[in-house]
Structure 1
């Protein structure tokens, strides 16, 4: 314990003196622990009630489909108090997950209850991560962004690694339904932690250092001054903000990069959707828990390594990391010995974890702070839209030809992504993530063209073209 504590200041660096970030980090750790318990319990309970990979594929679709709608939350995140978003989501989800044990207690538990709760919880979560991404640049200095992202991702994956494995064991001991009760408690703890997070507004950053937080009184004043949803919608501000987010990224190099991401994520969705069925062939709920644990553990190792490789060109790193991931996964699935499969499965996700951190560091470095919430949510929507589709398709195919074959799809998807970046000069030549600018990503060019007339006048000064 002493050794771990002595290392914390080194890992945190300058961030240890930022109480708002520490609360955000702790809240992220607790809520992700709860998410792990909830996800493993829900997916295994669906398989236990039906015995069908088709239903686990549908469950995978429902738990991820709301992610495709996260672009709708971006304008609201940019307008709302970030602290209220974080607190409100934890309160809502804490109540929602109690529906499953309540149905079991009253004798009405069925697969349809679980399938109904899954998308709602995920939809609420679509406000959480854009809010956290938007909060970071306001809370810390730019040179610490990669480290902060690594720590938040490490909290995410660390909780997954630990509680995915624990979930499999707990399911075997106390049952999946009990995990939903435990999950509601974790949401309550996260709520208390997030309640203490204060984030400077954009106006504060003009006169206040990036890593300086405002006190509670000032935060409440800013909360009261925030635009309400009704005001935003009635004035057309919400739709205008939504259009501005689309215009900001339209035609950019970021869109080109996302094409490869979508293909890889479709294959990843197929893998995750059939994983319970695959685990049943090699063990049971404990095997599923261990597979999900090493999936999270490998990603955690990658996130911890991300700050050590953030000075490497992002384009080249994307090529190497994705090709390596595809090869390792193919070998892991080809082996018949489960311990070897587990070991290679872990190594498979190390490059993935590092790339994910560097990707969001790139966004935070290049995108304007005032647009970061809506751009982050828009990118999340596009990047994840294929995952639920992959889960549904993978589940249907696995019911006919088996789960192992479907899991190979992700190896192919990552090989495609790596080779796709390799043959695109603009992507292949991307510099280190912290050095990527808006001009380099070509974001904002369409928005600027829309805002200004051809003679240099603003859009408000230019006559509107007739339809």
Structure 2
């Protein structure tokens, strides 16, 4: 890991990502439970999930901005805004004016800000790392994401019981302040600046933004990436439903501590998958995806019917190992085949298209869990993972995709119109 220590840019980017994920993990767990507790019904957690995930589906709108704005300024400003918004919750609680409606308003705003932060972090990786180090870099980023989730999800139920959700929000605001300091020391290499003798009017800016947004959609939907995303739609619908029903299902199993255990199992499985992704990277991506998602789907479906609640948690965690591994490989594929000046748009569009069904699934899951057994609803959500395996199995090109190292833009029939960059990615 000497290359990590020597590469100061990657080190501080990684540490910033780590601290950011700590804040997001605390925030999401505390917010979902707080809304369920204040509302007293699974419908409210479903509504909270819907409002939180909806901005993820709109991430394609942020892509052109991420491609044009200085990365460092995006990273710092997003953490500053999140710090302020999260602090409002303990502040309003102190003055006894906190309501479930206020939490439901703050949640989607914080989530929308995240849609600028994470693409900017992803866009920064190919700048600070060599091409051969991208899989390792993405694996460490996944470790930062899943490892933090593992720790804080595992103890989230205990923290909520011991200190209360409000205290967690206060600690959360501090983590975002620390992330600001870490991102502040980043230094990115200069890019060429496209100079113009005329100042752009608002109309010119809108036209430029619209053109770049259309260009991003055209690249994605005139390539194999469109089919690549097809299986993700129903899969993420099911995941959204599962996340919405999980507080009620955990309450059915015994309380907030089981909510933390299930979230921890998800993180452990994803983390293990991310850490062994380099081994999976030696296999053909098509066959790997078919087998991995089939196994994961089956384990998820049977997990709620285990005779032991703990064993059910373990099965659920095992289901996320292949998901965690393939997510790292998918990220490395995009970063390898897409030029950096298109990466913000392509990343945001593919992410938006893949998660577009999550908020709808969350709303549906929360409602269905308030009508039917949370155990039954939680089980059938596992079929979404199976759907990915079926789509890849039936599609001849996806089924035959080679190893990640053997892919290029031609593999996905991607066509780019190269143009001179017009932003500076340093301060």
What is the TM-score with the length of structure 2 in the denominator? 0.94
Within the candidate set 311, 317, 322, 1:351 is matched to 322
Q: CA deviation at 1:234?
A: 3.0
Paired position in structure 2 for 1:330:
301
Give the conservation status (yes or no) of the 8 Å contact 2:301–2:380. no
Within the candidate set 230, 250, 253, 1:279 is matched to 250
Within the candidate set 392, 396, 399, 1:421 is matched to 392
Paired position in structure 2 for 1:160:
149
Paired position in structure 2 for 1:264:
235
Aligned mates of 1:393, 1:51 — CA distance in 2: 17
Give the conservation status (yes or no) of the 8 Å contact 1:250–1:443. no
Aligned residues: 417
Which 5+ residue runs of structure 2 have no aligned equivalent? 420-427
Paired position in structure 2 for 1:123:
112
Within the candidate set 145, 170, 173, 2:162 is matched to 173
Matched, 1:186 2:186: no
SS at 2:346's partner residue? helix
Post-superposition Cα deviations, 1:314-333, rounded to whole Å, max 9, x if no partner, equal 11111011001011112211
SS at 1:173's partner residue? helix
Change (3 A) 1:294 1:201: farther
Aligned mates of 1:305, 1:21 — CA distance in 2: 21
Q: Which moved more, 1:193-202 or 1:307-316?
A: 193-202
Within the candidate set 100, 106, 110, 2:99 is matched to 110
Aligned mates of 1:177, 1:420 — CA distance in 2: 43
SS at 1:336's partner residue? coil
Aligned mates of 2:199, 2:244 — CA distance in 1: 38
Matched, 1:382 2:353: yes
Paired position in structure 1 for 2:266:
295
SS at 1:443's partner residue? coil
Post-superposition Cα deviations, 1:139-186, rounded to whole Å, max 9, x if no partner, equal 111111111000001100100110112221111011111111000000
Post-superposition Cα deviations, 1:82-136, rounded to whole Å, max 9, x if no partner, equal 0110000000000000111122111111110110000000000001111111111
Aligned mates of 2:301, 2:21 — CA distance in 1: 29
Q: CA deviation at 1:200?
A: 2.4
Q: Which moved more, 1:153-162 or 1:164-173?
A: 164-173
Change (3 A) 1:333 1:235: closer
Paired position in structure 1 for 2:61:
72
Q: CA RMSD in A?
A: 2.1
Paired position in structure 2 for 1:136:
125
Aligned mates of 1:28, 1:232 — CA distance in 2: 35
Aligned mates of 1:265, 1:375 — CA distance in 2: 19
Post-superposition Cα deviations, 1:267-290, rounded to whole Å, max 9, x if no partner, equal 111001110000001121111111
Q: Which moved more, 1:371-380 or 1:190-199?
A: 190-199
Paired position in structure 1 for 2:83:
94
Q: CA deviation at 1:410?
A: 2.6
Matched, 1:25 2:29: no
Does 1 or 2 have the higher relative contact order (CA < 8 Å, sep 6+)?
2
Within the candidate set 209, 212, 215, 1:241 is matched to 212
Change (3 A) 1:73 1:230: farther
Give the conservation status (yes or no) of the 8 Å contact 2:303–2:379. no
Give the conservation status (yes or no) of the 8 Å contact 1:164–1:290. yes
Q: CA deviation at 1:336?
A: 3.0
Aligned mates of 2:145, 2:76 — CA distance in 1: 18
Paired position in structure 2 for 1:305:
276
Q: CA deviation at 1:202?
A: 4.5
Matched, 1:252 2:223: yes
Which 5+ residue runs of structure 1 have no aligned equivalent? 1-8, 204-221, 452-467
Q: CA deviation at 1:343?
A: 1.3
